Amino acid sequence: MYIGVDYYPEQWPKERWTEDVRLMKELGVNVVRLAEFGWQLMEPEEGVYDFSLYDEAIELLTKNGIQVVLGTPTATPPAWMIEKYPEILPVDQNGTVISFGARRHYTVNSEVYRDFSAKIVEKMAKRYGQHESIIGWQTDNEYGHEKSDRSYGNVDQKAFQTWLKEKYQTLDTLNEAWGTVFWSQTYTAWTQIPVPRKVFQEHNPSLLLDFDRFCADAYTSYNKLQTDLLRKHIRSEQWITHNFVYTGQAINQWDMAKDLDFISFDNYPVWGGLPEPIAPAAIAHQHDLCRSSKDGKGFWVMEELSGAQGWSSIGYLPRPGHIKLWTYQAIARGAEAIVYFRWRAARFGTEEFCHGVLDHDGKPKRKYREVKEVIDSLSVFGDDWIASEYKADVAVYYDVENAWAWGIQPQSNAFDYKHEFLRFYSPAHRMNALTDIVTKESNLDGYKVLVVPVYFLTDPLVNEKITRFAKDGGTVILSYRAGVKEQNNFVVEDTLPGALRELAGVEINEYESLQLGQNNSVEGVQGSVSGVNSVASIWCDLVEPTTAEVLAEYRSCFYEKTAAITKNKFGKGTVYYVGTALENEIMDALYADIFKDAGVTIMSSSGEEVEAVTRTAEDGSVFLSVVNHSTENKGSLTLPEGTWVDPVSEEVVKGELSLEPLAAHVFRSR
Amino acid sequence: MYIGVDYYPEQWPKERWTEDVRLMKELGVNVVRLAEFGWQLMEPEEGVYDFSLYDEAIELLTKNGIQVVLGTPTATPPAWMIEKYPEILPVDQNGTVISFGARRHYTVNSEVYRDFSAKIVEKMAKRYGQHESIIGWQTDNEYGHEKSDRSYGNVDQKAFQTWLKEKYQTLDTLNEAWGTVFWSQTYTAWTQIPVPRKVFQEHNPSLLLDFDRFCADAYTSYNKLQTDLLRKHIRSEQWITHNFVYTGQAINQWDMAKDLDFISFDNYPVWGGLPEPIAPAAIAHQHDLCRSSKDGKGFWVMEELSGAQGWSSIGYLPRPGHIKLWTYQAIARGAEAIVYFRWRAARFGTEEFCHGVLDHDGKPKRKYREVKEVIDSLSVFGDDWIASEYKADVAVYYDVENAWAWGIQPQSNAFDYKHEFLRFYSPAHRMNALTDIVTKESNLDGYKVLVVPVYFLTDPLVNEKITRFAKDGGTVILSYRAGVKEQNNFVVEDTLPGALRELAGVEINEYESLQLGQNNSVEGVQGSVSGVNSVASIWCDLVEPTTAEVLAEYRSCFYEKTAAITKNKFGKGTVYYVGTALENEIMDALYADIFKDAGVTIMSSSGEEVEAVTRTAEDGSVFLSVVNHSTENKGSLTLPEGTWVDPVSEEVVKGELSLEPLAAHVFRSR
Amino acid sequence: MYIGVDYYPEQWPKERWTEDVRLMKELGVNVVRLAEFGWQLMEPEEGVYDFSLYDEAIELLTKNGIQVVLGTPTATPPAWMIEKYPEILPVDQNGTVISFGARRHYTVNSEVYRDFSAKIVEKMAKRYGQHESIIGWQTDNEYGHEKSDRSYGNVDQKAFQTWLKEKYQTLDTLNEAWGTVFWSQTYTAWTQIPVPRKVFQEHNPSLLLDFDRFCADAYTSYNKLQTDLLRKHIRSEQWITHNFVYTGQAINQWDMAKDLDFISFDNYPVWGGLPEPIAPAAIAHQHDLCRSSKDGKGFWVMEELSGAQGWSSIGYLPRPGHIKLWTYQAIARGAEAIVYFRWRAARFGTEEFCHGVLDHDGKPKRKYREVKEVIDSLSVFGDDWIASEYKADVAVYYDVENAWAWGIQPQSNAFDYKHEFLRFYSPAHRMNALTDIVTKESNLDGYKVLVVPVYFLTDPLVNEKITRFAKDGGTVILSYRAGVKEQNNFVVEDTLPGALRELAGVEINEYESLQLGQNNSVEGVQGSVSGVNSVASIWCDLVEPTTAEVLAEYRSCFYEKTAAITKNKFGKGTVYYVGTALENEIMDALYADIFKDAGVTIMSSSGEEVEAVTRTAEDGSVFLSVVNHSTENKGSLTLPEGTWVDPVSEEVVKGELSLEPLAAHVFRSR
């Protein structure tokens, strides 16, 4: 498998290159990513190209047996370009032009910028498309990151209007679809339609959702501009990818993935200014998102954190063991290659406190040794492991447009989309049930349980899919705010949960949005949740069963004794409705029963910090990876039946496995 | 009496209209408000008018015996207008132009906008001014709401300069009045005078106060433009009103009311994002403000909340019972008509989570039934009730310019104008003493007690009124920061409390502004407050009695033992000075004594959640309304002497009345 | 000595002037500052000058024996100028133009503004430069205050580019020095270089540091424009100063001081909106900063707080005794003259709540009496006291560019530069060891201990100075993040602490930035700190001793037992390294040992609220001043050996001195 580093030869004197490459070889690196911020070097003035620096670097790496991934440099348009064509710069919601001086200072809606992008990409493709040691390409870098996904300038407005015209054909259709009759917003010319700049109140939610779709489409088409040009010139073995980050922006990775050979991901479980890493399930679900992006296909981690990160703020120092743990976690959940960010901390620039495998002094120390241990171990079993099959019983539905709709109308100040998604995803993670993220295009065959968290913005096809899944015997878990919106962000006219009403066997005739610090409480009244109490926060649906039975009830306010969780038989399947945001204990009790009934495979462990994943190798043997995310506490895992062998030490383990803090193991069944 | 709903036929297919009107009739609705956001429908392109939709709706309503209030649609200028005349758009303090895309996106200082407004208003007036079932008009909608009261663009600056020229005639007068010699701000041309855009420090407080006056005047004259045009064309029975909201903006409802037949109010005791309703006294004082706006005249509640409200954030779900309670509270304090907002929740647009009598699914449910019960009950006694007289013993002074002056210089970060106003208003509310809000133009005859909270910006005529009131035997309650400022926002040259010094019999030679979290303490030393302790916050006047006696003293800091509350005999009256912000217990003890001495009628109840109001009917019988705002606790009221009859159930009550949570009753004395 | 008031005759009717001057004389005032905001009066229209008002005021003062300091009025360009030349206005980071309407609304980079400034300064210099009662000049007012230090407009950008061209000569040098190869920022024309306007991420830290240097240089050159012109016309006895404030802005007072005769300071231990005064050591270190600004030279307090201060927010009322205490503290630490701000509170303008010796009513009261007592006392011994020598054993290193570098990259959200500086300065203050602030140009001879707090941005000359100081027998205290940056804000390539590694006898191979609320703990393991525990916050260096010995260790996390404080013998000296931010107790224990070993003179007192300073008079006698900053608690000081006499009361004290709250004494040794 490929394991490598992100390398910036341009940031170091050439005298150092030899030593860098020597240390990389010693480390076992077989791939480096290069050039993704090197536009100015490759096009020092308009129309003048100079690839000598990267030529030289690639030659040195090639000679040393290290292969190369090349990034197109379009995340950083050079100063000369911005000076001459300032219309490239993005504009914020107040109309403030974003300045040159950092990165991502362009709007994809600028035709000028698309032209420049096309030229540099084509030049690179022509120069390196046939190169033997260049194995693939990364387009741009982290599309949309750091609020660069939405731009509100005049070129953006014009592009938005064009996009809308394409989508709606006539203004009547658009006016109807947006409900512009509200507040007298009916448009009588395409040119009247604004981008959502600052208003006194709030924009039309249908416009906002279309604006997010437009922004995402604009990026998708911008990426396609690059992939089309690359494919024209590169040899067929070279692949194309893009390194995504998941920070809720208006980017549609599923659409974009169609133009890519596979997805890449920049894996930073902790970032500048964070006091500690995000939760294990939060990391895991990002890997699941990666796999889902191209129908289960493996992905690259194009940037894997290797040291403390930060710009003007730093934060948490990854502990000894974290490199191995996060590497194993990523591979277990689908990563096929790991590229550590970055080879060495820069001595200058905004990211000089992004620490790498080496720090500023360039000396191999603890982190270098840890990476070496990982590479050495993976050299024993890595190829087999990444070739093995990850097969999930549990599907968790995700639709990026639903996330946007929630961003537009969170409805409660306590609502955070990702947090609520994880509320319904994490019980599976805590039980080590394998999960897939599924989207509207996914095939649901083979899953036993389908979790559909906060399914606010609905899609008729998805409603149909969910219904069929249940009818055919599957188990569905629905949550509060299911079925509320139509595709154009209108509230449905049916009584809630709208199209899912019969399925769920309930009606929601009243609901309450709870604000930060406000709570109700819930008590289980039947089945596994019986007697379990929980705080209820964020949202309370007053659930009225029609055909469903009641599993839990509210315990205060005027809707005391109203149902909060229900279970309904539908066709051959079962549908649960969870009408509020509940705590782990009751969620785990609920899921335990559901998984048991549905025959979901789980692995028992000491708690949420322990994460175990099994995958089946081509020879039928099973890889079992297990990590303990806790930096302080030991953990344990009840190993599945059989004999498990550590492929490196060849030690054999069985039964109850004890795990040191930050332990990371891979075993193979004998 | 009129009870109705706010209806938006344009938001629903015509097929639904018949069903809507059928349900309205069944409900007992006799009036609907229409059209206040319908500009684009009525003027789909510049100069082209089309009233067919509202014609049809009005006809249907008329046929069903429902009368109509028409809103002029000027809160929502259409897209075609903004595209062609972008100078209509308002500008914020940073110079950012507010975008089209929501509502209230205009500055009243735009002549272009005034012209367009005049045309649509005149067209409507001509078309509907003689219509038999149209009973009145609402101008625009919630002037100044959501920060639309102040605009800082070039047209605003020019209008401000013109307004100043009119006010001051010469620059010398203006320079003198503003103290522009400070920081070298003397103006030598009118064109030099800025609107208060962003500065490094803070603007001249005299300029800021005049800017607020200018903004309010601009809205008043804009409203007059509409009322003048309407009156030219409408039949004399049609009245004109405007629906105000009270959120501290630079709008002068007292001035504007002179051009209106009566005031309307949009009554939202809880709004999007609020975890719970505002305090009972806070709602009550808004109704008192309404009554005060036109010298005690009754008002309409043009929007009465009927369901949970919100845009992107929702919040508190009004409890079963709230509709009746808030309706009764409003009528008790002067509302003569109730229009519920809104008939049905919209399925689209910014306000789609403003829930109405019906929700998105259009089915009559709990809220519909509650409204029906209210209407049925009011049909028995409503007309008599609204015809009865509300007569207060206690006057509470309010001057909107004083509120602006506090907004400009809060002096402590713990100071909130409305909160402090309520600190001095609420004790009366808690004792069920009837209160009026009085302003500088009010006649004070007949009041027993005059409360003058945080009277920072003074007016010589008001000083004179207060003095005469006391001299003639009235009781005055003054607070900290009384008498500080002259009309031009200069600090007075007298020792504080300036013109009220002799009246109060005290001098304030030192004071301290306390910040959030900082406190002193006060202990009563004489009379009813004797031995009562209180935290003292926000502000401490070090009160030095000249002729007054000391009722309470500070208990810490170097001014320990300095007076905090004093009482002074002045003429035939008595003047209290409360030098700091105190807690309810000591305030109630103080007011209890004051009210007793002054002969104020009170009603004893179990606490601040219970609110009782008596009004005298034309036949001499008395209406007693009583509500319990608590959603959780029972309350009680000691009924005034006599026999009280529920006009609906005809049950008789006497003595101690027990009140369920959210109980709302009206009794009539037999 | 000079004691006076800041006076604004232009703000009062001339009828009042006589009374004001009479009261000043009665008070004992011998100097007033005038005219620093009087531009509009002196140049009422472009090119027309009128000095009559100040002529008259100066004449009145002169007649009454009061001398005058004149301020140039350039902090407040008049309205006519801004209207005609709006390019004078500064621009913020978003590109928003700062409006006329307050003060400091100019950018020093405007040539137009420089021309106007030159003209008014020259006019004033010519008119008053020979006046007998005018003793000196203040240029402008509080340069850079309230964010006026940095402007981001087009003229600023152009000036920045010119400054850079001057500094770097070639773009290659600049590109190299800034590391612009990072993120493709290489500049190929000077005109491409931005000022740091809003970007999506963060600007290049090397650009940011140069921008701060540029801003400071621009102000220095602007000030020099004024001082050069003044010196051309004034008599040699007139001095020139500027009144600085220390709020972390991009102003370099040390550079600017070269063009001034001495430094002045505006001393506000508490300001509008603050609930209480800043810590005693924070005030003290400001006075030390003043003395350091011109190599130990005494300074004027040009504005000494005399009452509660504030604009729209007020806050803390200085207690009886504070005027004397803060006056004595300032003189003890180097002030040679005190000018109270302000004579009387203005009745208008932004600063109308800046209370003065008199309040709005103009009557002499408590504050007047307190100032009188101070002046009377100082008339007995003030001249001798200010002539006496302040001699410190302890030098604390400060470099304003280091402060800027920290501002650009605080690295932890818990880091506050001033707070951390004080962490290492305050132990000396608590022990009443005399301190000097030293800068890169200071001579270190004669100091016993050199404290170098958070020395992040290094200078080779300073590294050399520190090294020599230790080698020659001095004691050095280094802190975490020492030695990290080169002058161009690059991270050094050496292992940390870089150039100080041998000196400290440690290596830092890992470190962690702790965020707000995060802590580690440290325990002393040797010497005076042995057994003392402390919370460790903000930053943890994992200190690896090479030649040093370990004084304290971390007590948690994976680096438990790693060194946190070390001590190293180096040459004839000793070097301490404190790798984290620790609490007072352990810092005091550490410093106690260090000071004892180094022979630093200390005075034992009851706590940090007591501050004692000794100075040696020309006759060899010693002045001992002691103040108790506590408003609530008594304090005590163990007097140094000998007999101490109060020069006013002639009382004699010895041994243990008890101090009332807010006591302020000066004694002289007999």
A540 and A498 in a common domain = yes
Contacts of B176 in chain C (CB under 8 A): none
Residue A433 lies in a domain: yes
Q: Does the active-site annotation cover A510? A: no
State the pLDDT at residue C247.
82
Written as six digits, the tokens of C652 are 């004699």
B614 and B522 in a common domain = no
B623 and B585 in a common domain = no
Q: For residue A261, which phi and psi values (nearest 5 degrees)?
A: -75, -35
State the pLDDT at residue C270.
97
Average pLDDT, chain B: 97
Phi-psi domain of B101 (left: phi exceeds 0; alpha: psi -120 through 50; beta: other): left
What's the mean pLDDT in C260-272? 97
Residue B436 lies in a domain: yes
Written as six digits, the tokens of A118 are 């096309």
* C154 has binding-site annotation: no
Among A361, A271, A285, which residue's Cα sits nearest to residue A317? A271
State the pLDDT at residue B264.
98
CATH number at residue A452: 3.40.50.880
Q: Which of A 528-567 lie inside 8 A of B, CB atoms?
A: 558
What's the mean pLDDT in C414-424? 98
What's the mean pLDDT in B377-384? 98
What's the mean pLDDT in B23-46? 98
Q: Which of C40, C270, C633 to mutate to test the interface with B (most CBs of B within 10 A)?
A: C40
Q: How far apart are CA B546 and CA B542, in angstroms?
A: 13
Please give the helix or strand (H or E) that residue C21 lies within, else none: helix C14-27
What's the mean pLDDT in C242-269? 96
Residue A464 burial (C-beta neighbours within 10 Å; 0-12, 13-18, 19+): exposed
Q: For residue A429, which phi and psi values (nearest 5 degrees)?
A: -60, -40
Phi-psi domain of C128 (left: phi exceeds 0; alpha: psi -120 through 50; beta: other): alpha
State the pLDDT at residue B447.
98
Q: Which chains touch B (3 or more CB pairs under 8 A)?
A: A, C
Which residues are A626's β-sheet partners? A612, A665
Q: For residue A536, which phi and psi values (nearest 5 degrees)?
A: -115, 125
Among A637, A5, A611, which residue's Cα sits nearest to residue A287? A611
State the pLDDT at residue B315.
86
- Annotated catalytic residue within A142, A351, A420, A486: A142
Q: Could B347 and A191 be called an inter-chain contact, meaning their C-beta atoms sit closer than 8 Å?
A: no
For C179, the domain range is 35-261
Written as six digits, the tokens of B478 are 């003054």
Q: How far apart are CA A500 and CA A496, in angstroms?
A: 8
Q: Could B189 and C83 be called an inter-chain contact, meaning their C-beta atoms sit closer than 8 Å?
A: yes
Judge whether C182 is closer than 8 Å to chain A, CB to CB: yes
Q: Which of A 357-386 lie inside 8 A of C, CB atoms?
A: 359-363, 365-366
Contacts of C94 in chain A (CB under 8 A): 94, 96
Q: How far apart are CA C250 and CA C152, in angstroms?
A: 13
Contact pairs from chain A to chain B, CB under 8 Å? 180
A627 and A535 in a common domain = no
A623 and A561 in a common domain = no
Q: What pLDDT digit, counting tens, does each position of B51-73 carry?
A: 999 999 999 999 999 999 999 99
Q: What pLDDT digit, counting tens, does each position of B430-483 carry?
A: 999 999 999 999 999 999 999 999 999 999 999 999 999 999 999 999 999 999
- pLDDT band for B357, please (50, 70, 90 cuts): very high
Q: Does the active-site annotation cover C304? A: no
Q: Which of C199, C485, C541 to mutate to test the interface with A (most CBs of A within 10 A)?
A: C199
The answer on pLDDT for A248 being more than 90 is no
Amino acid at C644: W
Of the residues C565, C598, C631, the one at which a domain ends: C598
Of the residues B563, B578, B598, the one at which a domain ends: B598
Is pTM, for the whole model, over 0.90? Answer: yes
Q: Which of B 603-662 lie inside 8 A of C, CB atoms?
A: none
CATH number at residue A644: 2.60.40.1180
Residue B343 lies in a domain: no
Q: Which of A201, A487, A493, A496 to mutate to test the interface with B (most CBs of B within 10 A)?
A: A201
Which residues are B304's β-sheet partners? B267, B340
What's the mean pLDDT in C79-85? 98
| Domain count of the fold of chain C | 2
Contacts of A73 in chain C (CB under 8 A): 184
Is the separation of the CB atoms in B281 and B435 below 8 Å? Answer: no
A555 and A492 in a common domain = yes
Among B258, B220, B598, which residue's Cα sits nearest to residue B439? B258
Is the separation of the CB atoms in C588 and C430 below 8 Å? Answer: yes
Contact pairs from chain A to chain C, CB under 8 Å? 178
The 8-class DSSP code of residue B438 comes to E
Residue with tokens 């100091």: C447
Written as six digits, the tokens of B349 are 């647009």
Of the residues C237, C261, C285, the one at which a domain ends: C261
Q: What pLDDT digit, counting tens, does each position of C11-27 carry?
A: 999 999 999 999 999 99
Contacts of C353 in chain B (CB under 8 A): 409, 411
Q: How far apart are CA C81 and CA C612, in angstroms?
A: 50
Residue C271 lies in a domain: no
Is the separation of the CB atoms in A147 and A248 below 8 Å? Answer: no
Q: Which chains touch A (3 or more CB pairs under 8 A)?
A: B, C
CA distance A77 to chain C (A): 7
Q: Which of B 581-600 lie inside 8 A of C, CB atoms?
A: none
Residue B465 lies in a domain: yes
State the pLDDT at residue A315.
86
Judge whether C146 is closer than 8 Å to chain B, CB to CB: yes
* A103 has binding-site annotation: yes
Helix (H, G, I), strand (E, B) or coil at C561: coil
Judge whether A203 is closer than 8 Å to chain B, CB to CB: yes
What's the mean pLDDT in B134-156? 97
State the pLDDT at residue C315.
86
Residue with tokens 């878990």: A477
Closest partner residue to C206 (CB to CB) among A148, A348, A365 is A348
- Annotated catalytic residue within B303, B608, B609, B611: B303
B616 and B565 in a common domain = no
CA distance B562 to chain C (A): 14
Q: What pLDDT digit, counting tens, does each position of C183-222 carry?
A: 999 999 999 999 999 999 999 999 999 999 999 999 999 9
The answer on pLDDT for A144 being more than 90 is yes
CATH number at residue C94: 3.20.20.80
Closest partner residue to A410 (CB to CB) among B104, B312, B345 is B312
Q: What pLDDT digit, counting tens, does each position of C534-550 carry?
A: 999 999 999 999 999 99
Residue C324 lies in a domain: no
A459 and A526 in a common domain = yes
Is the separation of the CB atoms in B6 and B32 below 8 Å? Answer: yes
Q: How far apart are CA C205 and CA C491, in angstroms?
A: 11
Amino acid at C321: G
CA distance A360 to chain C (A): 6
Q: Which of B 457-516 lie inside 8 A of C, CB atoms?
A: 488-496, 509-515
Q: What pLDDT digit, counting tens, does each position of A91-126 carry?
A: 999 999 999 999 999 999 999 999 999 999 999 999
Q: Could C41 and B206 be called an inter-chain contact, meaning their C-beta atoms sit closer than 8 Å?
A: no
State the pLDDT at residue C524.
98
CA distance C576 to chain A (A): 23
B568 and B488 in a common domain = yes
Residue A652 lies in a domain: yes
C399 and C256 in a common domain = no
Q: Is the dihedral of CA A550, A555, A561, A562 positive or negative?
A: negative
Closest partner residue to A413 (CB to CB) among B79, B99, B313 is B313
- CB contact set of C659 (below 8 Å; sequence gap of 6+): C606, C610, C626, C627, C628, C634, C635, C636, C637, C665
Residue C481 lies in a domain: yes
What's the mean pLDDT in B46-55? 98
Secondary structure in 3-state letters for B246-298: CCCCCCCHHHHHCCCCCCEEEECCCCCCCCCCCCHHHHHHHHHHHHHCCCCCC
Contacts of B148 in chain A (CB under 8 A): 200
* C103 has binding-site annotation: yes
- Annotated catalytic residue within A43, A303, A304, A351: A303
A618 and A491 in a common domain = no
Q: How far apart are CA B241 and CA B69, in angstroms?
A: 10
B594 and B471 in a common domain = yes
Q: Which of C513, C516, C562 to mutate to test the interface with A (most CBs of A within 10 A)?
A: C513
The answer on pLDDT for A247 being more than 90 is no
CA distance B49 to chain A (A): 14
State the pLDDT at residue B107.
98
